[in-house]
A and B are shown apart, each in its own frame.
Chain A
Amino acid sequence: MRSYYEATARERLAAIVDPGSLREILPPPTRTRSPHLQALDLPTAFDDGVITGSATLAGQPVLVAAQEGGFMGGAVGEVHGAKITGLLERAVATRVAGVILLLETGGVRLQEANAGLIAVSEIIRGICATRAAGIPVVAAIGGQYGCFGGMGIAAACCSTIVMSEEGRLGLSGPEVIETAQGVDEFDSRDRALVWRTVGGKHRYLIGDAQVLVDDRLDAFRDALAAAVRAGDRLDLAAVEREHALLARRLHDYGACKDGEDVWRAMGIEAPHEVPMLPTDVLVAAVRSRRAA
C-alpha cells in the first residue's frame, strides 16, 4: 500500500474516501484563487492549496479537506481558510457523521497577513462549534511539511489526531525556533532531536495524538473511519478532563529537557530505542504508560 507521506493532497483524498464518492466543493474549474497572491504578483493555485468536498468514508457521510503542502507549504490564506471554515459550518448545517482534515501546513500564509490570521482563528472556532454540535472533527498529520503555527492549535482542538511517525506537530516550527532563539536552544538540522520533540511517536506518547499509524494510506483511512465512528461531543466536562490531563502532564514531565527524558519518566524501558521501534511494537509496549 502506498505511502501517505509521499502522496499529494489529491492522491490522499482519492485513497482515503470511498471510491467515486468525492464531490469536490469549489473545484479547480471555479478558479477560486487568492486575490492577495495575485495582487503581489505571486503564483496562485486554482484551489488555493486546499481541496474540500463531501464524500463517504467506510459508508459514513463526511466532509473532507486536504491541504497541499507543496503549494506555499500548505499555508493558510484568506480563501484557503474560508474553504475550511465553510466546510465546518456545512458540517453543522447538514449533520454529517464527521469532518476529516488532512493537515499539512506551516500555518498562516505570511503574504496574507491579518486575513490569514483571521482565517486560522475562524477555523479554530469552526472546529470547536462542530464538536460542540456532536460531530467529530478528525485530523490526519503525516506529510512532509508537518502541521505548525496556528494550524497546530487548530489540530489540537480536533476530536482525534491520527499521526504517523513521519508526521510533525507543533506551534513554532524548528527553523523558526532556531532563528528566534539560537541554535543552542534548538538545532533545527538535528533531525533526531526534531522528531523527538515534534514527531509522531512523541506526540502519541505524550498524548497530543490519539492514534499512531504506519505511513500507509490504508492505515490512515482505517484510523480516520474508526475515529468518526467513535463519535465525539465537546462539553464542559470534556474541557475539564483535558485541562486536568495537561496539568498532570506538566507536573510529571515539566522538568524534562528532551523527548527521551519524558519517555524515561513514563517508565518506558530502553527509551533510546523508541525511535527505532516499529509502530505496532511501540503501541503495544506503551499502551498503559502514555500520557492520555
Chain B
Amino acid sequence: MEKLAFTYDGGTPADGARGARIVGVVASGNLEVLIEPLASSRACTIEIDTAAHGFGATWQAVMDDFFARHPVGGVRISINDAGATPAIVALRLDQAIEDYLRAVPA
C-alpha cells in the first residue's frame, strides 16, 4: 500500500451538521471516502491509502481539481483505495462532500 497526504488551505469552513459521512466501498476499482469535521484547523486534509503504487502525481492532480471545485475548510478526508480510476475518485469525492454538506432533514 502507498500512503499519500495532501493539505489545502484557504477553503470556506464547511458545516457538516450530520457529522462524519462515508461513501463508496473498498472493492476492486472502487474506493471509500470518509469525511469528518476537523475541529483544530481550517484546512482541508486528505489522507490516501492506495493499492496502486507510483501514481502520486495523478492523485495530486485529482485532489487539486477537487479542491478547485469544492474549496472547503475544516474537514478531514480519508480514502481507502482499491485501484479506482481518476474519474471514479473524482466522482466519489464529489458524492462525499455533497453528502457531508447536505442539511439535516427536517
Cβ of A71 and Cβ of B20 under 8 Å apart?
no
Cβ of A27 and Cβ of B30 under 8 Å apart?
no
> Interface 1/0s, chain A 1-44, versus B by CB < 8 A?
00000001010000000000000000111010000000001111
Q: Given A29-B34, A29-B36, A45 and B20 touching (CB < 8 A)?
A: no
Cβ of A71 and Cβ of B27 under 8 Å apart?
yes
Q: Bound state CA distance, A195 and B49, in angstroms?
A: 38
Number of A-B contacts (CB under 8 A): 43
Interface residue? A61 (CB, 8 A): no
Q: Bound state CA distance, A10 and B24, in angstroms?
A: 10
Interchain CB contact (< 8 A) of A71 among B26, B51, B78: B26
Q: Bound state CA distance, A45 and B33, in angstroms?
A: 10
Contacts of B22 in A (CB 8 A): 10, 28, 46-47
Contacts of A71 in B (CB 8 A): 25-27
Within 8 A of B (CB), among A24-83: 27-29, 31, 41-47, 49, 68, 70-71
Contacts of A46 in B (CB 8 A): 22, 32, 34, 78, 80
Q: Bound state CA distance, A47 and B78, in angstroms?
A: 13
Contacts of B78 in A (CB 8 A): 31, 46
Cβ of B25 and Cβ of A43 under 8 Å apart?
no
Cβ of A8 and Cβ of B25 under 8 Å apart?
yes
A51: min CB distance to chain B, Å: 10
Contacts of B80 in A (CB 8 A): 43-46
> Interface 1/0s, chain B 4-40, versus A by CB < 8 A?
0000000000000000101001110010101010000
Within 8 A of A (CB), among B73-89: 78, 80-82
A19: min CB distance to chain B, Å: 9
Interface residue? B103 (CB, 8 A): no
Which residues of B line the A interface, CB within 8 A? 1, 20, 22, 25-27, 30, 32, 34, 36, 49, 51, 78, 80-82
Which residues of A line the B interface, CB within 8 A? 8, 10, 27-29, 31, 41-47, 49, 68, 70-71
Return 20 A-B CB contacts under 8 Å, by A number. A8-B25, A10-B22, A28-B20, A29-B20, A29-B34, A41-B1, A43-B26, A43-B49, A43-B80, A43-B81, A43-B82, A45-B26, A45-B32, A45-B80, A46-B32, A46-B34, A49-B26, A70-B30, A71-B26, A71-B27
Taking A42-B1, A71-B26 as known contacts, 20 extra A-B pairs with beta carbons closer than 8 A to each other, sorted by chain A number, are A10-B22, A28-B20, A28-B22, A28-B32, A28-B34, A29-B34, A29-B36, A31-B78, A41-B1, A43-B1, A43-B49, A43-B80, A43-B81, A43-B82, A44-B26, A45-B32, A46-B22, A46-B32, A46-B34, A49-B26
